[in-house]
Amino acid sequence: MSFVAFVLVAQATPAPGEVVPLTFAGTTLRAHVADQPEERSRGLMGVTELAPDEGMIFVYPAPRELTFWMKDTPSPLSIAYVGADGRVVSISDMQPFDTTLILSRGAALYAVEANQGWFAAHQIEVGALVGGLPGPAKK
């Protein structure tokens, strides 16, 4: 089981870095890539708002059950866990500053966070295929 910890840092948008267009059923989400351990640990902590079609993709070296929480994250988010085959494994809503662990409910290579309700608004469900995924992280 993987556990992601966050530290509170105030910022309006994610730190600059690589952004990839991910496609979900014909809809594009511009996702900031977090593929290094430090980036995955920081995530969207302290981010107070995202653009409507903006998010973050957490990339891991190998598929495994993933666990996230929202301890130091002030914005309500939804998370889609995605397997190595590019299909959504599970989707959950997450509340600001909540320490409840959100499990992937299956092996996942990626976790994609977006504004809360983004996946539902675009009718993205478990089993949906995600396009534009980067390769596995090196560490």
Q: Give tens-digit pLDDT for 4-36.
A: 443 333 345 555 579 999 999 899 999 999 999
User: Taking Cα atoms as reference points, which of 127, 136, 132 lies closest to residue 31?
Assistant: 132
pLDDT in tens, 86-109: 999 999 999 999 999 999 999 999
What is the average pLDDT value for the chain, to the nearest integer?
A: 90
Domains of the chain and any CATH numbers: 2-9+18-131 (2.60.120.1140)
pTM for this entry: 0.89
- Residue 82 CB-half CA count within 13 A: 28
User: Taking Cα atoms as reference points, which of 101, 98, 111, 49 lies closest to residue 75?
Assistant: 49
Q: How would residue 68 be classed by pLDDT, with cut points 50, 70 and 90?
A: very high
pLDDT of residue 15: 58
